[in-house]
Structures are given as structure tokens and as C-alpha cells.
Copies of this chain bind each other. A is one copy, B any other.
Amino acid sequence: MEPNPDLKITLIGAGTIGLSFAAFHLNHLPSPSHLTIFDTRPDAARHVFENLPKFYSSSDTLPNLFEIKVVDSLEDAVKDADIIQESGPENLPFKQELWREVEKYAKKDGLLWSSTSGIPASQQCQDMVDRSRLLVVHPYNPPHIMPLLELVPSPSTSATVIERTRDFWAKRGRVPIHIKKEVTGFVANRLAFALLRESIHLVNEGVVTVKELDEIVQSSMGPRWAVAGPFKSYHAGGGPGGLEGFFANIGGTVQDCWTDSGQVNVGDGWEGKVFSEAKEAYGVVDTAERDTITRRVLEVIDEEKANKKV
């Protein structure tokens, strides 16, 4: 439960990401009345009450969603909030104007978080008077399930704000990681897209199908990396010599794979084959099923890691 009984959170934007964050926060706030949602769509309250239950599984206890404050005035939405988290459109002018307005009404020490997957805080804050409170808090979708939060401050974000943000997520059992530079796409997506790029190349060359490639990942590096990330895995693979020993043993093979890698680009012509194989293999994916299994995987890892530390 909430370590701070007075904490109030305001979410701006009630799309998929905003509602998923709402489900997460409701698990920790002392009462749904501590959550405010602002969204410009007509009949936003009805949208929230109808769609938020989709973020709960059948075994969860639903909070009283009608206690959530769904408001249509930005001033009312933000004036009492300790944390203001936006998950609005991925559009720079929208975000710049939003923060300029939010700043007029928000408490001076309120934390300002953007869920953007691509627009750096240093650009979003351009029209603000005090740029020290804003940073990107980028989730891995869906945020009510996945533990990762990438904290990406701008050079103007204060160290205190970064620390308070990290502390918020860590106290709630999440994995907040401070990204030290505003690199394109931040870290998680860059890594995933690097693997996706080689995946597309191999499917396009007819080495494996889309479905076979997924089966390969699901039965090898997926479960491995759920438990120990790539560096830890290869450090272990190098025996007593660690990562250095690993590269001494098979650095040649690693470089051969890098040299031979496909380096496809968007629009290169692989799209037809890859998209149609995905459609044929999966149709419409049941994400509820995927999420249920993912939750259990995360629970098991937490349990086992807790046991090992005892």
C-alpha cells in the first residue's frame, strides 16, 4: 500500500497507457479518490469507467472506480497533485503547451512525468519557467504488469526530482532505471529493435519463418534473460574469465555474426513477406492470456530470487 497516505496522483490522457498506469496506481493509493484523470475526449468519465476494468484479471478485486475524479478542467486536475503523469499524444507542440499550462496551476514541488517513448524532456520543457521538475518516465507496455520504468531526465532536471521519482517506483516494487543521456528511443526499445532488425533479416532471407523465430526466442534467450540479462549470461558463459573470457573464447564468432548481420531498413521491401507471415501465424493476439502468463513468470522469479537471498 501507499507509503504516503496523503499522496495524490493526476493522470493526463486516458488512452491505453494512461489507463494501465491508473490500474497500477490504484493498487497502491489509499483510496481511488486520490487519483484524478484528465482527458479531453467527450464523456471521458464514461470512457474511464467502461475501459479501466479491462486492466484487471478475473481474480483481482476491483476498487470502487467511481471514486476516481475524472475532470475536464486542467486547473482542477493538477492543482492538488503531488505527481502529474502525462500519457497524451506523441506530439511535441501538444506536450510543450501542456507543460506550460500545467506549470501555472501545479504545486511547486509536484513531480511532472511524461510517458513518451520518443520525445525527450529537454524538448518538452522548452516553454516552461522551471524545467527542473520534468522528466520522462517511460514504461514497458503494459505498465500495470511490466516492472521496468526508464527514467530519462533532461539536463535541466534536478537530482532531487530524479531521486524522488526513483524512490516512488522502487518503494512500489518496480524497477526504475536512470538513463544518463537522452538517446533516441531510450534503452529498452533500442535493444529490442536491434534484435527485431536481425529477426526481420533472417525471415526475409527465408532462414526461418516469423513463427519459428518467435519459438526460438521463447525457448532460449527469452527465459534466460528473464532471469539473467545478456551481460550476466555471457559473463557466466566465460567461466572464471567472465565476459573477457567469453570474448577470448568466441569473440571471433561474435564478430562474424556482427559482420554478417542484415542491417535492413524500413521500406527495404521485406514488409510484405514479414507482415503476412505474422498475420497468418497469429491473427489477433490474445493479450489477456499473454499478460496472465507474464504475471506468473514475474511472480515466480520474484519468489525464487527472494528465497535465494534468505
Which residues of A does B touch, CB under 8 Å?
117-118, 140-141, 146-148, 150, 175, 177-181, 183-185, 187-199, 202-203, 205-208, 210-232, 234-237, 240, 242-244, 247, 250-261, 263, 265-266, 271, 274-275, 277-279, 281-282, 284-285, 287, 289-290, 292-294, 296-298, 300-301, 304-305, 308
| Contact of A275 (CB < 8 Å), options: B198, B243, B263 | B243
Which one, B202, B230, B287, contacts A199 given CB within 8 A?
B230
Cα distance A10–B258 in the bound complex, in angstroms? 35
- A212-B177, A275-B242 known; A198 and B191 CB under 8 Å? yes
Q: CB < 8 Å: which of B215, B230, B284 contacts A177?
A: B215
Kindly list chain B residues whose C-beta atoms are within 8 Å of the C-beta of A261: 190, 194, 197
CA distance in complex: A243, B271 (Å): 9
Tell me whether A285 and B236 are in contact in the complex, defined as CB-CB below 8 angstroms, given that A194-B197, A297-B223 are known contacts. Answer: yes
Flag if A180 contacts B195 (CB, 8 Å): no
Q: Separation in Å of the A272 CB from the closest CB of chain B?
A: 9
Contact status A266-B251, CB under 8 Å: yes
A237 vs B159: C-alpha distance when bound (angstroms): 34
Interchain nearest-CB distance for A59 vs B (Å): 13
- Please state if B223 and A294 are interface contacts (CB–CB under 8 Å): yes
| A243 to B203 CA separation, bound complex (whole angstroms) | 14
Question: Is B227's CB under 8 angstroms from A290's CB?
Answer: yes
Distance (whole angstroms) from the CB of A176 to the closest CB of chain B: 10
A145 to B246 CA separation, bound complex (whole angstroms): 21
Residue with the greatest number of chain B CB neighbours at <10 A, chosen from A191, A294, A305: A191
Instruction: Tell me, rounded to whole Å, the shortest Cβ–Cβ distance linking A177 to chain B.
Output: 5
B residues near A278, Cβ cutoff 8 Å: 231-232, 235, 242-244
How many angstroms between the C-alpha atoms of A275 and B226 in the bound complex? 22
Q: Is the CB of A258 within 8 A of B265?
A: yes
